[in-house]
Amino acid sequence: MPTSNPLSPISSYQSPFTTRYAGPAMREIWSERTKRMLWRRIWVALAEVQCDMGIVSAEQVSDLRAHAEEVTEASIARALEIEHDIQHDLMAEVRTYAEQCTVGGGIIHLGATSMDIEDNADALRLRDALDVIGAALDELITQLAAKVQQYADVASMAFTHLQPAEPTTVGYRLAQYLQDLLMDRDGLRTCRAGIRGKGLKGAVGTSASYMELGSTGAGALGHGLEGRVLEKLRIGAFPAATQTYPRKQDWLVVNVLAGVAQSLYKFAFDLRVLQSPPIGEWAEPFGAKQVGSSAMPFKRNPINSEKIDSLARYLASLPHVLWDNAAHSLLERTLDDSANRRVVIAEAFLATDEIIRVATRIIKGLRINEPQIARNMQTYGPFAATERLLMALVKAGANRQDMHELIREHSLKAWTALNMGAPNPLIDNLCADPTVTHYVTAAQARILLDASDYVGDAPQRARAVADLA
Q: Let me know if 293 is a catalytic residue.
A: yes
Q: At what angle do helices 338-364 and 114-150 cross, to 10 degrees?
A: 20
CA distances to 24, 42, 67, 83, 128 from 38, in Å: 18, 6, 13, 18, 12
The one catalytic residue among 8, 11, 293, 317: 293
Residues 280 and 302 sit within 8 Å (Cβ to Cβ): no
How distant is the alpha carbon of residue 128 from its chain centre?
15
Round to whole Å and give the CA distance between 388 and 192. 49
CA dihedral 281, 287, 288, 289 (to 10 degrees): -130
Q: Let me know if 161 is a catalytic residue.
A: yes
Q: Supply φ then ψ for residue 333, to 5 degrees.
A: 160, 140
Q: Supply φ then ψ for residue 157, to 5 degrees.
A: -70, 135
Active-site residue set: 161, 293
